């Protein structure tokens, strides 16, 4: 039977499998917008996009837009129209998760989904277009999110963490364990705004308390599955909560909250109960709070020995970017 360390290493490899030998990386086409690479397009997606020559065109080992589709607005609208047609045809299973909420943007004449994601080469760059969240894996564009570790520390210094169990109606990983609050970074929303919104909507955390969360870094990874390629970066926050505080179910995306000692949380990370990317966020917490240490392979001062000190592999697996 695999040990805890081996199971965690397997999880990290699975969440970074696009980097591993045997992935589709070498056969994918670059997705370029305005001369910048913003994603990877799998061959099966590229062949279908070839049906829309008025929107997309091949460019060496890349796919880009036709010369007439050369503005933020025209790219966003053209891609939305293509995706709507593919959605009607049921060409890709990932489009089943299309969100129907709409948001009017002042600089677009179209109604686009509230779950539109900004497409850009790097987070610091201005967006080149918007794209429906459910379709991002078809183009391998990076998605960003915000995850919040809610925890307490008692008078003896013992750590406990709040975990959420996802609703059974969630389109992805229903019923799995999750961070206390988390959500995708939709177009036009700042990281801090998303943090406060998700805390309030999912866990009924007052904005004044949510604002006390500290930014502690990012977790990045790229994986592929039957629905496409998923380069993702999560902005991670730690929120130390009062000992008498308890989150409550808000918008229905969570079915329950649990309050566990950090040792139990660690054990749960490698179980099938945890949503994989959320397990990575908690692993990052364990490393930053010295629950997992580099030299001895021990868990803090509880002297729970790992079979192998994979500290470096753990850290590297939490920070992989294309």
DSSP-derived secondary structure for 70-123:
-SHHHHHHHHHHHHHHHHHHT--GGGGG----EEE-TT-SSEEETTEEEE-SST
Q: Is residue 99 very low, low, confident or very high in pLDDT (cuts 50, 70, 90)?
A: low
HEC string for 253-282: CEEEEEEEEHHHHHHHHCCCCECHHHHHHH
pLDDT above 90: residue 299: no
Model confidence pLDDT, tens digit, residues 62-84? 999 999 999 999 999 999 999 99
* Distance between CA atoms of residues 62 and 66, nearest Å: 12
Helix (H, G, I), strand (E, B) or coil at 67: coil
Which is more confident, 1 or 4?
A: 4
* Distance between CA atoms of residues 148 and 31, nearest Å: 31
The whole-chain average pLDDT of the chain stands at: 90
The beta strand positions in 199-280, using DSSP E, are 214-225, 228-240, 254-261
Which residues have CB under 8 Å from 101's CB, separation 6+? 113, 114, 115
Model confidence pLDDT, tens digit, residues 119-142? 999 999 999 999 998 999 999 999
The pLDDT value given to residue 321: 78
Query: Can you say whether the dihedral through the CA atoms of 34, 113, 95, 89 is positive or negative?
Result: negative
Predicted structure pTM score: 0.90
Q: Contact at 8 Å (CB) between 196 and 156?
A: no
Domains of the chain, by residue range, sit at 4-16+143-317
Quote the DSSP letter at residue 23.
Answer: S
C-alpha distances out from residue 25 to 22, 41, 92, 109, Å: 8, 9, 20, 37
- In this structure, the dihedral spanned by the alpha carbons of residues 52, 54, 55 and 61, taken in order and rounded to 10 degrees, is 80
C-alpha distances out from residue 304 to 4, 114, 252, Å: 11, 46, 37
Chain-centre distance for alpha carbon 224: 13
Percentage of residues in the chain having pLDDT higher than 70? 90
Q: Which two tokens stand for residue 28?
A: 């994918």
Model confidence pLDDT, tens digit, residues 142-197? 999 999 999 999 989 999 999 999 999 998 899 999 999 999 998 889 999 999 99
How large is the average pLDDT for residues 293-308?
Answer: 55
Q: Which two tokens stand for residue 127?
A: 């967006």
* Distance between CA atoms of residues 143 and 223, nearest Å: 12
* Distance between CA atoms of residues 24 and 223, nearest Å: 10
* Distance between CA atoms of residues 183 and 97, nearest Å: 16
Nearest to residue 205, comparing CAs of 246, 168, 240, 236? 246
Nearest to residue 98, comparing CAs of 40, 129, 137, 69? 137
How large is the average pLDDT for residues 208-212?
Answer: 98
Class of domain 4-16+143-317: alpha beta
The pLDDT value given to residue 164: 97
Cross-strand bridge partners of residue 203: none
Check residue 23 and give left, alpha or beta (phi > 0: left; psi -120 to 50: alpha): beta
Cross-strand bridge partners of residue 32: 37
Quote the DSSP letter at residue 300.
Answer: G
């Amino acid at each position: 039977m695999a040990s805890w360390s081996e199971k965690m290493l397997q999880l990290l490899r699975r969440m970074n499998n696009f980097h591993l030998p045997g992935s589709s990386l070498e056969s994918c086409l670059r997705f370029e917008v305005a001369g910048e690479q913003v994603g990877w397009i799998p061959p099966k997606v590229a062949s279908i996009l070839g049906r829309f020559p008025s929107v997309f065109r091949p460019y060496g080992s890349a796919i880009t837009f036709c010369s007439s589709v050369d503005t933020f607005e025209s790219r966003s609208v053209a891609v939305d129209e293509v995706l709507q047609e593919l959605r009607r045809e049921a060409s890709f299973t990932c489009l089943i998760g299309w969100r129907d909420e709409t948001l009017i943007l002042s600089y677009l004449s179209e109604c686009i989904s509230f779950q539109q994601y900004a497409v850009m080469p790097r987070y610091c760059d201005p967006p080149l277009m918007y794209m429906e969240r459910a379709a991002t894996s078809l183009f391998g564009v990076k998605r960003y999110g915000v995850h919040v570790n809610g925890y307490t520390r008692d008078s003896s210094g013992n750590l406990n963490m709040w975990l959420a169990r996802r609703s059974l109606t969630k389109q992805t990983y229903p019923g799995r364990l999750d961070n206390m609050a988390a959500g995708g970074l939709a177009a036009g929303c700042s990281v801090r705004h998303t943090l406060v919104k998700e805390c309030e909507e999912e866990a009924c955390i007052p904005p004044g308390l949510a604002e006390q969360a500290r930014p502690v870094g990012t977790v990045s990874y790229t994986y592929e599955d039957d629905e496409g390629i998923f380069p993702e970066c999560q902005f991670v926050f730690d929120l130390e909560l009062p000992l008498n505080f308890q989150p409550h179910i808000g918008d229905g995306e969570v079915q329950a909250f649990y309050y566990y000692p950090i040792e139990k949380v660690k054990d749960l990370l490698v179980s099938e109960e945890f949503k994989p990317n959320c397990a990575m966020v908690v692993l990052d917490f364990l490393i930053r709070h010295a629950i997992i240490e580099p030299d001895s392979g021990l868990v803090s001062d509880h002297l729970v020995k790992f079979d192998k000190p994979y500290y470096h592999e753990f850290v590297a697996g939490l920070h992989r970017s294309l």
